[in-house]
Amino acid sequence: MIEQRLVRPSGSPRRAAVAAPVTPVALGDVQANEQERLSTGIGEFDSALGGGIVGGSLILIGGAPGIGKSTLTMMALANLLAAGHRTLYVSAEESAAQIRLRAERLSAECALRIPVIAETDLQTVLATIEQERPEVCVIDSVQTLHSSELSGAAGSVAQVREVAAELMRVAKAGGTAVMLVGHVTKDGTLAGPRVLEHMVDCVLQFEGERERTYRTLRALKNRFGRANEAGVFEMCDQGLVEVLDASSRFVGEATRAAGSVVVCALEGSRPLLVEVQALVSRSELAPPRRVVSGLDRNRIALVLAVLGRHAGIGLGTADVFINVVGGVRVDDPGADLAVALAVASAVRRTELTVAGGHRPLACFGELGLTGELRTVAHADRRLSEARKFGLTPVVEPERHGTLRSALAAALGGERRAEPVAA
Ligand code: TYD
Ligand code: MG
């Protein structure tokens, strides 16, 4: 790689001969000032960012349309403005009047004072940023800005790259932190924002089901803090509200019926108790249906295969529906066991509760391909969260080494699996 950069493609080392070399400096001699951070006034947002917005940084906020990206960024700007910071909201999607209507709904008091421009031309936006010199600027969205210096429609890979690169140049020069909003389809495959992940300092993913109220904001990458930090929000009439007691809500709402179990999941570094539900019914289709929400489909396929092979619960002719309640997405191998137990409980039509009590059963653990239960990160945090809500004993890898043993503990005795009834 280094060779390629120094030597021209023709093989002539001309550039290496012409360029003046620089003297490398030991890292210990490099001046590194403590990064100043601006608080968004939204605790969960700040913690996903690792403690607030770093001046001059580039943050990408991805999410499906309608998830609340405009709402979240606008609330952050309103709070920053209230704290005396200069802000700018660039909308390349909505008219100023539409943005005003959203701002009117928000509880943040300064929302109507946010300076906005509704503009799709990149060069105009750059000139405005250079003139206004905001400390924090939101670009909503990176896919709808258009550079007239490039051909191609707005949102094409070349355009999105150019827009981000130019914004980065102006932002770093003027010390403006830029939040780029980007639309990502549900499976995250849309070309747009994904091509920017390597350029930006932080990538935040805003996810959840649009029709449900709960959303999670997760840091996928963070040059100034831990990746994988996450916060839970609820979409209300006055905008997004942080959900600080998510576990308590989800446990309180848990159904305690056959096919339901609570997973001690980890959202970033925080434990979260959330209900996983399964429904199994005889299929009329070949191949049968696998409908999954809030979990990774490939992971579900693995769990169902392990259930068939190592627990005698064959689902080859059954439709299986799996749902994480509340629209939360759980990206955690520790949810494997919850899926297995929820499905087994649905097949056997047996409620899973903590022995003798009316509380739902809690569990966590990763499933291995040979039917073993594998330990997952931060078991202690998961256990103490379950303990907090009285959901002990927890079915987990330390106490049960295999799926069979976990099933026996949860369902009481190792009975033969019944065939799936309609
Ligand atoms: P929006 O922020 O426009 O989503 P995005 O920018 O990601 O496309 O808002 C998404 C939805 O949230 C929208 O359908 C309306 C709803 N909403 C509320 O329920 N309450 C509110 O206070 C606001 C502002 C929006
Ligand atoms: Mg929007």
Which pLDDT tens digit goes with each residue over 41-67?
999 899 889 889 999 999 999 998 889
Phi-psi region of 356 (alpha: psi -120 to 50; beta: other; left: phi over 0): left
What average pLDDT score do residues 61-83 get? 94
> Please, which residues have CB within 8 angstroms of residue 185's CB and are 6 or more apart in sequence?
64
Give the ligand with the smallest distance to the CA of 103: 1
Q: What is the pLDDT of residue 187?
A: 58
* Residue 419 in this model has a pLDDT that exceeds 50: no
Q: Of residues 209 and 320, which shows the higher confidence score?
A: 320
CA 318 to centroid of ligand 2, rounded, Å: 40
Q: What is the pLDDT of residue 354?
A: 79
* Residue of 67, 71, 72, 107 with the most ligand 1 atoms within 8 Å of its CB, for mutation: 71
* Residue 313 in this model has a pLDDT that exceeds 70: yes
> Please, which residues have CB within 8 angstroms of residue 181's CB and are 6 or more apart in sequence?
61, 69, 70, 73, 138, 139, 140, 141, 142
CA 65 to centroid of ligand 2, rounded, Å: 7
* Residue 262 in this model has a pLDDT that exceeds 70: yes
Q: What is the pLDDT of residue 420?
A: 47
Q: What is the pLDDT of residue 232?
A: 86
CA 67 to centroid of ligand 1, rounded, Å: 7
pTM > 0.85: yes or no: no
CA 234 to centroid of ligand 1, rounded, Å: 11
Per-residue exposure over 282-298, b if at least 16 CB sit within 10 Å of its own CB, e if not: ebeeeebeeebbbbeee
Tokens of 367: 């499933």
The packing angle between helices 336-348 and 403-411, to 10°, is 50
The environment of the single-atom ion ligand 2, i.e. residues with CB closer than 5 A, is 70
* Residue 85 in this model has a pLDDT that exceeds 90: yes
CA 254 to centroid of ligand 2, rounded, Å: 32
Please state, rounded to an integer, the average pLDDT across all residues of the chain.
Answer: 87
Q: Side chain identity at 228, as an amino acid letter?
A: N
Tokens of 144: 């709808």
What average pLDDT score do residues 160-181 get? 92
66 lines ligand 1 (CB under 6 A): yes
**Angle (CA) 194 200 206, round 5°:** 55
Give the ligand with the smallest distance to the CA of 108: 1
Shortest CA distance to 169 belongs to which of 58, 53, 37, 38? 58
* Residue 208 in this model has a pLDDT that exceeds 70: yes
Percent of the chain beyond pLDDT 90?
A: 58
312 lines ligand 1 (CB under 6 A): no
User: How far is CA 13 from each of CA 18, 23, 363, rounded to the nearest angstrom?
Assistant: 9, 20, 62
67 lines ligand 1 (CB under 6 A): yes
| Ranges 1-10, 275-284, 301-310, 335-344: which has the least confidence | 1-10
CA 321 to centroid of ligand 1, rounded, Å: 28
| Ranges 40-44, 151-155, 307-311: which has the least confidence | 151-155
What atom in ligand 1 is closest to the CA of residue 206? 7
